[in-house]
Amino acid sequence: MSRKKAVKGKGSSNTPSSSPSSDKEKGKKVPTQSNGVVHPSRPSLSNSGEFYDIAFKVMLVGDSGVGKSCLLVRFKDGAFLAGSFISTVGIDFRIWDTAGQERFRSVTHAYYRDAHALLLLYDVTNKASFDNIQAWLTEIHEFSQQNVVIMLLGNKADSTHERIVKREEGEKLAKEFGVPFMETSAKSGLNVELAFTAVAKELKHREMKEPNEPKFQLQEYVNKEMKGVGCCRS
Ligand SMILES: Nc1nc2c(ncn2[C@@H]2O[C@H](COP(=O)(O)OP(=O)(O)OP(=O)(O)O)[C@@H](O)[C@H]2O)c(=O)[nH]1
């Protein structure tokens, strides 16, 4: 999975006018199987001009304001968007950035179905966004594929003074639900690259693994590579 083709779109319109089918139209540029995985007979060219062999659909989900757009922009451009800007209401393709607002949920549901991976975010400075994770997971299990890769991310880990949710609480919740977890910061860049590459590695491994090859251990990989807030390695 090429990082550069991780093109996100902050919704180009500020109304939920783009229907799932109209957005899928945009994705028609690449040959897609019914499971949504792109298997071109020869490498395909991404919008950014890079070649790739396989493509997966990764979505960012979570409450409004947890930092989904910022995380994607940090990953894609290495930049941080400070301050307030228009809330996401549209959904773009490649890496799909969803609107966290309740009133756009029905639009989001339609996109879960063929997602291969979901990065589920809460904001460590916002208890409600953490408390809502269980509801998000229930929804994900209802609408997404059974084998979807899920990773829980506690974002805004740079906000030391405003922090309300402890890292241990995130770890405990993730353990309860059997999903990998780490804290991230779109502002400082902490673990942002890792979140996307770990998911990409898992998906690629599933797709290309030889029958006798052991499974990729996503949580182990994350534990090994993850950096902590204020840690010497970050
Ligand atoms: N300190 C800090 N602020 C962040 C971080 N990530 C995002 N923010 C801020 O949080 C606010 C919301 O970020 P967005 O990326 O728009 O959140 P979103 O989840 O995409 O929101 P919706 O589009 O409404 O679903 C903005 O003011 C960002 O600057 C982070 O890692 N640290």
Residue reference for tokens 């409004």: 64
Give the CB-side neighbour count of residue 29, counting CA atoms within 13 A.
Answer: 10
- Which of 90-99, 155-164, 174-183 comes out lowest in average pLDDT? 90-99
- The 8-class DSSP code of residue 200 comes to H
User: For residue 55, is pLDDT > 90?
Assistant: no
Q: How far is CA 159 from the centre of its chain?
A: 21
Cα 68 from Cα 131, distance rounded (Å):
17
CA of 210 to the centre of ligand 1 (A): 40
Q: Ligand 1 centroid vs 152 CA: distance in angstroms?
A: 16
Q: pLDDT tens digits for 166-223?
A: 999 999 999 999 999 999 999 999 999 999 999 988 988 888 777 788 888 898 999 9
What residues form DSSP beta bridges with 97?
60
98 has a pLDDT exceeding 90: no
ipTM: 0.99
Ligand 1 pocket, Cβ-based, cut-off 6 angstroms: 64-70, 81-84, 87-88, 99-101, 155-156, 158-159, 185-187
The 3-class secondary structure across 40-63, one letter per residue, is: CCCCEECCCCCEECCECCEEEEEC
Q: How far is the CA of 81 from the centre of ligand 1 (A)?
A: 8
Q: Is the pLDDT of residue 8 over 60?
A: no
